[in-house]
Amino acid sequence: MYEIKARNPSIAWKNIMTLINNYGTNIVSDQGLTREILNLCVEIQYPLEGYPIEGTGWDLPALEKYASDLCNFSYDLKGFDYNYCERMGRQVYHVIELLKNYPNTRQATIYLWIPEKDLETKLYKPCQVVADYKLRQGRLHATHFFRSHDVQDAYPQNIYGLGKLQKSISDELGCNPGTLSTISASAHYYIR
C-alpha cells in the first residue's frame, strides 16, 4: 500500500505522478500500455485549494463544467454508457437525510457499480465504485474507492468534482468539509 497525505490536490497530483514514475510497473491491460502502482491511498486536507493544477490541461471553466455535471443530478447520459451523476443520483439525497438524522452513522455510502450492467455487458464501466461520507467533529470527510484511476488525465477533475460534491453535501448539513481521500486499486497513466 502506498500512502500520500497532501494539503491540496496540486501537491497530491505531483506526488502521485512522481510515485508512479519511480515505483510503477509497465503493464499492458485491455485498455493499452500503462504505468501502474497498486493500492494507492491519498488523503487531501483541502480538496478545492490549488486549482488549476499546472501541467494537467484543465482550466477552471472546464473544471466547473465537470463539477456542475457531477453535482446536478440527471439521468440523461448524454450519449455515454454511464456518468457519475446518473449513478449517484438519488443516493446523495438519502445520504444527506441519513447524516441529518444520524450524524455518527457509518452507513452514508453511495454505490456506483451495477453488477448486472457492469459485469455482464461490454459497456464502459465506472472507475469509481464507492463514495463514503463520515460526519465527525463538525466536518464531513469523504472517501472514494476507484477500481481504476487514470491519474494523469482524470485525477484533477475527479478530485475537483468530488470536492465540490463534498462541499455541497456539507452545506446541506450545515458543517464544514473535511478531508477527501481516494483509494485507487490501480493508479496509473497511459503510455502513448
Return the C-alpha cell found at 144.
472514494
User: Is 17 in contact with 6 (CB distance < 8 Å)?
Assistant: no
Average pLDDT over residues 158-167: 96
Helix, strand, coil % in the chain, rounded to nearest 5: 35, 30, 35
Return the C-alpha cell found at 185.
486499486
User: Is 109 in contact with 141 (CB distance < 8 Å)?
Assistant: no
By annotation, the residues acting in catalysis are: 127
Show Cβ contacts of residue 6 under 8 Å, excluding neighbours closer than 6 positions. Answer: 12, 15, 42, 43, 44, 45
Average pLDDT over residues 143-158: 95
Average pLDDT over residues 118-132: 88
Whole-model pTM over 0.85: yes
Per-residue pLDDT reduced to its tens digit, 29-45: 888 999 999 999 999 99
- Res. 72 pLDDT band, cuts 50 70 90: confident
